[in-house]
Amino acid sequence: MTNSKLVHIIVMAVAAVLVFILTMTDALYAPDAFLTDKLYTRLSGPNSRIIIVGIDEETLGEYGNFTLWSREKTAELLELLYSDPENAPAVVGMDLLFTEPYDEETDAHLASAAALAGGNIVSGSHIVYRGQVETDESGKRYYNSEHIDRIEMPIEGLADVTTAGFTNACVAKDGYVRYAMNTIVTPDGGEQDGFAYAVYKLYAESRGEDVYVPDKQSNGLFQFMYSGKSGEYSKVSFRAVLAGEVPATAFKDAIVLIGAYAPGMQDDYQPASDRDTSMYGVENHANVIQAYMQHKTMTAVNRWLAAVIAALIIILFLALTQKTGLWPGLIASAAVGVICTLAGRLLAAHGHYIPLIYVLLFLVIADAYLIVGKYVIEKIRRRHTLDVFKKYVAPQVVDELSRSGDFELKLGGEKRHIAVLFIDIRGFTTMSESLDPVQVVEILNDYLALVTDCVLSNSGTLDKFIGDAAMAVFNAPFDLDDYVYKAVKTAWDINSRSKPLEESLLERFGKGVKFGIGVNCGDAVVGNIGCDFRMDYTAIGDTVNTAARLEANAGAGEIYISEEVLNALGDRVKADLVGDIPLKGKSNKINVYTVTELEA
């Protein structure tokens, strides 16, 4: 197994374990809840049969402090709503707390008015929670912050003629309302419905419909989907109804909810469906009632199952994208994200929701891994390769190739038509025997610096140094215009600049240097040749061998070229025929020319 495969397996294992743990622990509840709210909310619009009678600013301005008039005026409102049986509401829900006696007369008036509905009124109760230490079935002690200490029930008389429903909002730990509860177990072992559920049940029964009982989670909660935004439900002012400004027919067979609709009454919450606005408690109840009516409720899928599925998705995705390119990997990631989202919406429509944040988050991380692994690392590798080639190829050529993106370095060999230049110092061995080694190296470095500068200035590739000899190729590894001319021009430049170098060396060491140069062109195999731990980029073949033999036969200060080079340059070069001389390693003699003039 290669190191890259091992690393990829480790990455898959770590990613799968992390996504499994995060899903199991619901570590990212807040962002997951936000995503769930955005993806699964279906604002289908409020049901016109739900009407809110709001205790608004207009009402408070007319009647004053709510506590001083609430029971008497509420009694009058109920009497008005049920004064005409033909136009009576189907159900009335009072999202108001009448849990403490006020005075005997008004309390009795409210109870007698509620009795007119014949049991079709729900009045609000309130759960008082008080945390305490409890013991679970295994005997382990824990602190239960949701322990119900007591339930504040409607006042005597009112409780006898109405159905009590607790009005507590189920605020999630991120501060938004997205959950509701059907029933709770009371401290005496009985059960009590939630306000919205009690209203819905009475409405369904009045219409002869089956009561929908949504699935619930282990804590008794379920998630409901909002239908209307804040202010969208039909709302009339409490004062306007009492004043007779709203016709009785408006409430016929409707669900009428009476509740606070003014900021001063401090009964507003943050709905999960629209985080930029607040929603009055009575509107929240209206949304929950409509969720019951339209079966728009959800519960989370089994967390173990969700965690396993999420881990498998990540493993499968990373396995499939192991050998893909960057863009196919990113496209696959987007496709998986879309499929998961569509699957989530489909499940939500059937009453179940899955935590998507963990899969989507790790898809983003996987995308980052792909970008780093297949783009950034490749860019670094390419930059390193280009930096290395700058030592052999003219830097301006490499920079231009890097900018244009037209760069492809093939592993192994490829057949290319190239020009090859060989150069050697004449009499170097004899000279080195008469000088100090340090001086020899200094002379060699000056000579090689001249050769290198001339090669690179003509956009050639410096293939290698072989002692006092050097080899350069033109038109490899990159395509190069007019490469045969540039190879000969390199030789010409070296000869032209050799005189100042010779004078300098004579002055410093009493020794000068002269060069013999050979240039040939033709097909050759070029590429990375060697083994895994040692490679050279070079050219091999008869074209290279011929160039080397031309250089070996050239005298000091001579540039020998082949007939192929002469033909390629035409009248741009003047050369004298040396003759058809034999070259070592070649069965046939070839015509050799010495360059006498080169067009600038």
Estimate to the nearest angstrom the gap between the alpha carbon of 516 and the chain centroid: 62
Angle of the 326-349 helix axis to the 29-40 helix axis, nearest 10: 70
For residues 371-391, give the mean pLDDT: 68
Confidence of residue 171 (pLDDT cuts 50, 70, 90): very high
Contact criterion met (CB below 8 Å) for 272 and 176: yes
Whether 378 has a pLDDT exceeding 70, the answer reads no
Higher pLDDT, 508 or 103: 103
Contact criterion met (CB below 8 Å) for 289 and 95: no
User: pLDDT tens-digit profile of 435-466?
Assistant: 888 888 888 888 889 999 999 999 998 888 88
DSSP structure string for 466-509: ETTEEEEEES-SS--TTHHHHHHHHHHHHHHHHHHHHHHHHHHH
Tell me the three state secondary structure of residue 85. Answer: helix
Question: Looking at residue 535, what is its pLDDT?
Answer: 67
Start-end of H helices in 50-164: 57-63, 66-81, 104-115, 158-161
Estimate to the nearest angstrom the gap between the alpha carbon of 569 and the chain centroid: 57
Alpha-carbon gap, residue 89 to 251, rounded angstroms = 5
Confidence of residue 534 (pLDDT cuts 50, 70, 90): low
Extended strands (E) in 113-176: 121-129, 132-135, 141-144, 148-152, 163-166, 170-171
Alpha-carbon gap, residue 120 to 124, rounded angstroms = 13
Q: Closest by alpha carbon to 72, among 106, 113, 123?
A: 106
For residues 140-163, give the mean pLDDT: 92
Contact criterion met (CB below 8 Å) for 35 and 357: yes
For residues 6-21, give the mean pLDDT: 86
Question: Looking at residue 36, what is its pLDDT?
Answer: 86
- Which two tokens mark 477? 């590894």
CA distances from 54 to 45, 67, 154 (A): 19, 15, 20
Q: Closest by alpha carbon to 351, among 181, 178, 225?
A: 225
- Which two tokens mark 101? 């006696």
Question: Looking at residue 281, what is its pLDDT?
Answer: 97
Higher pLDDT, 137 or 229: 229
Furthest-apart CA pair in the chain: how many Å? 137
- Residues 360-388 as b or e (16 or more Cβ within 10 Å = b): bbbbeebbebbeebbeeeeeeeeeeebee
Residues linked to residue 144 through DSSP beta bridges, in sequence order: 132
Question: Looking at residue 46, what is its pLDDT?
Answer: 95
Estimate to the nearest angstrom the gap between the alpha carbon of 474 and the chain centroid: 46
DSSP structure string for 92-110: EEEEEE--S---HHHHHHH
- Which two tokens mark 193? 């419905």
Question: Looking at residue 439, what is its pLDDT?
Answer: 83
Higher pLDDT, 393 or 332: 332
Q: Look up tokens 């003759």; give the residue.
A: 579
Cβ neighbours of residue 448 under 8 Å, at least 6 residues apart? 465, 470
Confidence of residue 181 (pLDDT cuts 50, 70, 90): very high
Whether 1 has a pLDDT exceeding 80, the answer reads no
Residues linked to residue 589 through DSSP beta bridges, in sequence order: none
Confidence of residue 107 (pLDDT cuts 50, 70, 90): very high
Confidence of residue 432 (pLDDT cuts 50, 70, 90): confident
Alpha-carbon gap, residue 344 to 353, rounded angstroms = 6
Cβ neighbours of residue 423 under 8 Å, at least 6 residues apart? 451, 469, 470, 472, 491, 494, 515, 516, 517, 518, 551
- Which two tokens mark 284? 């929240």
Q: Closest by alpha carbon to 329, among 366, 361, 376?
A: 366
Highest mean pLDDT among 45-59, 504-518, 537-551: 45-59
Q: Look up tokens 């489909």; give the residue.
A: 346
Question: What domains appear along the chain, each with residue ranges and CATH number?
Answer: 3-39+302-380 (no CATH), 43-295 (no CATH), 402-598 (3.30.70.1230)
- Which two tokens mark 250? 């408006």
Alpha-carbon gap, residue 250 to 205, rounded angstroms = 21
Q: Return the number of other C-beta atoms located less than 10 Å from residue 540's C-beta.
A: 13
Confidence of residue 132 (pLDDT cuts 50, 70, 90): confident
- Which two tokens mark 290? 């409509």
- Which two tokens mark 56? 């608004």
DSSP structure string for 393-456: B-HHHHHHHHHHT-----SSEEEEEEEEEEEEETTHHHHHHTS-HHHHHHHHHHHHHHHHHHHH
Cβ neighbours of residue 96 under 8 Å, at least 6 residues apart? 70, 74, 123, 124, 258, 259, 260
Q: Look up tokens 């008004």; give the residue.
A: 106
Where is average pLDDT lowest: 274-283, 337-346, 383-392? Answer: 383-392
User: pLDDT tens-digit profile of 222-264?
Assistant: 999 999 999 999 999 999 999 999 998 999 999 999 999 999 8
Q: Look up tokens 């003047």; give the residue.
A: 574
Alpha-carbon gap, residue 479 to 490, rounded angstroms = 17
% of the chain with per-residue pLDDT over 90: 57
Question: Looking at residue 468, what is its pLDDT?
Answer: 85
Highest mean pLDDT among 110-114, 305-309, 460-464: 110-114
Whether 589 has a pLDDT exceeding 90, the answer reads no
User: pLDDT tens-digit profile of 390-431?
Assistant: 655 555 556 655 655 555 544 567 899 999 999 998 877 777
Residue 271, preceding peptide bond in cis (omega within 30° of 0):
no
% of the chain with per-residue pLDDT over 70: 92
pTM of the full structure: 0.65
**Average pLDDT score, the chain:** 88
Alpha-carbon gap, residue 81 to 117, rounded angstroms = 9
Q: Closest by alpha carbon to 489, among 393, 383, 561?
A: 561
Higher pLDDT, 6 or 305: 305
Alpha-carbon gap, residue 21 to 14, rounded angstroms = 11
Question: Looking at residue 561, what is its pLDDT?
Answer: 97
